[in-house]
Chain A
């Protein structure tokens, strides 16, 4: 309970920072901080595997990719961004409404929420077994999707005038 109390305000602050920062790079770094704090929360709750994976994948890969794509794009106008804020805020709040509604519904309907009893820790071997037996179709679908994305990205990244280059080389 204590880690949750300490961490959740921090996560919230970081998340608000991620949407509030005018500079895209700052926003991306705040996003990375948010994800890292969520990972810490997982660790604090005893879910080591998911916490470390969260850290490796989200902080190590996703945040880095966002940041990298920021590096190779032209930054927008900051003043414009700040000017746009009130409208963006309204839109953003509207978008959160469904989530809020679900949360409110759960909170209102349920005095039946009870604390989940401490589960014996799931070993990685078991996790792997579950992933590759009962959840194998999902994993495979995901793999196909990712492969398709990778191939698509490679196709997009290919230089369009490759054949001309080849002919000029000769």
Chain B
């Protein structure tokens, strides 16, 4: 079982890089000291390593649920939660207690087992996906050769669990929400994966730690050699970002749970802890997809400027994560929700063609750069991407976005 095998090489003792893996090492040393057998030590170490990641991101989830409310409040010139604890720092705790003590209601028409299964199935893939991300130079919880593929494979489970949630609730709004969610996620998964493919083409590997390592170094001494700062990477990164907003079901693509239209979509019939699990799954998914975006386009744990390498690499990773998450919040606070037909049109008429174009651009870029024609690479790929982008935007803006929608049933 190669899946659980390779935990990356041992870092030097007491280096700051080592810090996130301190619990794992401590447990391993303790068990080794107590004379536990080898397999027990490794299993315990693995559990603790997994627990560290889950713990970090559950903490991040709690913090984000507060920060999101605070940020949105500031955008709307409000203050936000500030009652529980110092500046509302205990608000997540209060929310958690509230969620846990609420009554768990299962509708009479629900499929009991599937109704229970769905919230679990939504958290599991998010946590699994978080496991393969390289958080630091020495901190990749599970270093897989096929990390990217693994990420998308487990990520695709989310659609199924959303469907199960919508269908098992046995009522209308969850069903509608599930239909919207599935059509949206299927449509946006395509450009998401295609835009990630460019990175795979250029780096020639599916292993996430290797992809990050290839983005090390600097152009001209100060521009980091991240994929974002190449023409194809710039476009692919933006496409990836837009798609990840849609995949994470966040505003302006939050149709599956648009509360003004279909209550809460597939989560309508859930309450108490199950609802909290959905909430958690959604935020963990957001973390996972942002982490993947950072890994692919923003250089993962690489420092943004030369000479900043003295800080431990995972600090850079989480700093970038914070910025990306803030972009999500900012966008949520700014844009209104799109209509379902606009959403689908945008996916199939703008995103997918542009994502497909990044592939030849990435190929041309790689070949020309390999042969040393750096300038030619820029000269070809920039127009190759920019001109279609402008055309697509103008057409979409003129014709499609403003096209009147015909209502067949509600006139």
Contact = CB atoms under 8 A, between A and B. Distances in A.
Interface of A: 25, 29, 32, 39, 43-44, 46, 48-49, 52-53, 55-56, 59-61, 63-65, 67-68, 71-72, 124-125, 165, 169
B172 to A, nearest CB: 12
B146 A68 contact: no
Given A52-B146, A60-B153, A67 B163 contact: yes
Given A25-B167, A32-B160, A49-B149, A71 B175 contact: yes
15 contacts: A29-B114, A43-B1, A46-B2, A48-B3, A49-B149, A60-B152, A60-B156, A60-B189, A61-B156, A64-B160, A71-B175, A124-B145, A124-B146, A124-B206, A169-B404
Given A43-B3, A46-B2, A59-B157, A68 B163 contact: yes
Contacts of A71: 163, 167, 175, 178-179, 182
Given A60-B159, A67-B163, A165-B406, A52 B179 contact: no
Interface in B152-173: 152-157, 159-160, 163-164, 167
Most buried by B among A39, A43, A53, A56: A56
A67 B182 contact: yes
A52 B163 contact: no
Contacts of B380: none
A72 B179 contact: yes
Contacts, number: 76
B311 interface: no
Contact of B160 (A46, A53, A63, A169): A63
A64 B182 contact: yes
Nearest to A39: B153
Contacts of B6: none
Contacts of A44: 1
Contacts of A55: 153-154, 156-157
B186 interface: yes
Contacts of A61: 156, 186
A48 to B, nearest CB: 5
A68 B183 contact: yes
Given A60-B189, A67-B182, 10 more contacts: A55-B154, A59-B153, A60-B152, A63-B160, A64-B163, A65-B186, A68-B163, A68-B186, A71-B167, A72-B179
B150 interface: yes
A64 B146 contact: no
Closest 7 interchain pairs by CB? A60-B156, A56-B153, A55-B153, A52-B153, A52-B149, A64-B159, A67-B163
B156 A56 contact: yes
Contacts of B157: 55, 59-60
B11 interface: no
Interface string B168-201: 0000000100110011001001000000000000
Nearest to B117: A29
A49 B150 CA distance: 9
Most buried by A among B1, B159, B205: B159
Nearest to B2: A48
Contact of A48 (B146, B183, B205, B404): B146
B149 A56 contact: yes
Nearest to B162: A64
